[in-house]
Amino acid sequence: MARVEETLKQELIDLLQGEKIVSLITTDKKTKKPNLSIVSWLVAHQDGKTIKFALGHKAESAFNIEETPDLLLGVVGAGSCYSISGKGTVSDVIDKTMKYRIVTVDVESVEDVIFYGGQITQEPDYIKTYDAELAKKLDEEVYEMLKK
């Protein structure tokens, strides 16, 4: 049986410094059923208890978290799969190059959830298919906000 931790281990903190595919599971505001989305603008803070991620200002996930702050983050990396449970708070709209909302997650538990005998040997990867200069500008802007 997997051991449940109350904070992120350093290996996960190091992994979660942006540009990762992370599953976000919230409770749908209307249906009250689980809602899955993907985030990549995400930073784990060195305290092991805080993760921040950015969403577009009209993201359904932001409205879901405002209604029901309990959430899960699913992470594939650091040799395994992790379920990070916490409570999220959503910022007001931040108007920069685009409009954002920052979600601050207070980590409550971290569980290694890979099946018995499994080990991740390759992390998921992706490319951005929009304007490279805009992508760079947005990334710099967002990560500056998330690291505060």
What residue segments make up the domains of the chain, in order of their start? 4-146
Spell out the residues 6+ positions from residue 37 whose beta carbon is closer than 8 angstroms to its own. Answer: 23, 24, 26, 59, 60, 61
How do residues 111-148 score in pLDDT, each as one tens digit? 999 999 999 999 898 999 999 999 999 999 999 999 98
State pLDDT tens for residues 13-24: 999 999 999 999
Q: Cβ of 12: how many Cβ atoms within 10 Å?
A: 22
Global pTM reads 0.94
The CATH architecture to which 4-146 belongs is: Roll (2.30)
Q: Cα separation of 44 and 18, whole Å?
A: 8
Q: What is the pLDDT of residue 132?
A: 92
Q: Which residues contact 110 (CB under 8 A, 6 or more apart)?
A: 4, 5, 6, 7, 8, 9, 12, 82, 83, 84, 85
Mean pLDDT of the chain: 95
Task: Report yes or no: 88 and 104 within 8 Å, Cβ to Cβ.
Answer: yes
Chain-centre distance of CA 54, in angstroms? 8
Alpha-carbon separation of residue 53 from 31, 73, 139 (angstroms) = 24, 11, 12
- Which residues is 90 bridged to in the sheet? 103
Mean pLDDT within 102-106:
98
Residue pLDDT, tens place only, 42-89: 999 999 999 999 999 999 999 999 999 999 999 999 999 999 999 999
pLDDT at 1 over 90: no
Does residue 2 surpass a pLDDT of 80? Answer: no
What is the model's pLDDT at position 3?
76
Asked if 8 contacts 84 with a C-beta cutoff of 8 angstroms, the reply is yes
The residue among 3 and 132 whose pLDDT is bigger is 132
